[in-house]
Amino acid sequence: MPSFDAMIAVALAGLTLSATPGPSMLYVLSRTVGQNRLAGLASALGLCLGGIVLAVATALGLATVFQTSDWLVTILRYVGSAYLIWLGVDMIRSAKAESQVTFDVEKVRTKPLGAIIWQGVIVEVLNPKTVLFFALFLPPFINAGDIHAPHASVQIQLLVLGILVPLTAIPSDLVVAYMGGTMTKVINRQRAMRERMAWIGGFILIGIALNLHLQII
């Protein structure tokens, strides 16, 4: 199992990213406003299931890498940390511009709930940025002392941490699906709050990345 500290860090990073308005939030919002609240919940479920599929695939693939290539593991740790810092810096850098973007949700074609869930899975699994995120985000959080642990142990660590990522998005997705059009108005109105949230989120991600190596906390 991954360490408690690693699970807290991954959950915090996941919550930070999911709470910031982005493509996934807009996807759920468009279904809620364009169809109905139940459709929004179905789209959120689809995104979560897609994230779990990616978590399983990542765990199976990276576990083999961890068992066979020590040098690649070290590289992945530092690249993953650098990627987390880049996400934080990018969030801060674009905070002002992103806060000025107006969310415009249009009417969507009505679909049955099963189709919406399946569409959410496909959207998440085929998103190159999401795939890259899983591949680079998880390695730094694997316990260094467990690199040479049994293959199954490394898989479990990767799987638990990977599944935490889509699970942490559920609270924000539920809020978006439940509030619907009201959420759109809130997001568009609270531009200063959005900018502050981006700054705070960016510093949290950078702090998590630095703490992985400096052990500040």
- Across 17-41, average pLDDT: 81
Q: What pLDDT is attached to residue 157?
A: 86
> Percent of the chain having pLDDT more than 70?
86
Q: Is the pLDDT of residue 190 over 80?
A: no
DSSP state of 141: G
DSSP-assigned letters across all residues of 102-123: PP---------HHHHHHHHHHH
Which range has the worst mean pLDDT, 57-66, 163-172, 203-212? 57-66
Single-letter code of the amino acid located at 179: M
HSE value, Cβ hemisphere, 13 Å, CA-based, for 200: 11
Regarding predicted confidence, which is higher, 185 or 176?
A: 176
The pLDDT score that the predictor gives to residue 89 is: 92
**Which pLDDT belongs to residue 183?**
65
* Residue 50 lies in domain: 4-214
Phi, psi of 79 (to 5 degrees): -65, -40
Q: Which residue has the higher pLDDT, 104 or 58?
A: 58
Mean residue pLDDT across the chain: 81
Q: Name the most confidently modeled range: 94-103, 160-169, 191-200.
A: 160-169
CA distance 132 to 47: 16
Instruction: Specify the number of domains making up the chain.
Output: 1
Task: Lowest mean pLDDT of 20-34, 107-121, 150-164, 174-188, name the range.
Answer: 174-188
| Those residues with Cβ within 8 angstroms of residue 68's Cβ, 6 or more apart along the chain or in another chain | none
Confidence of residue 121 (pLDDT cuts 50, 70, 90): very high
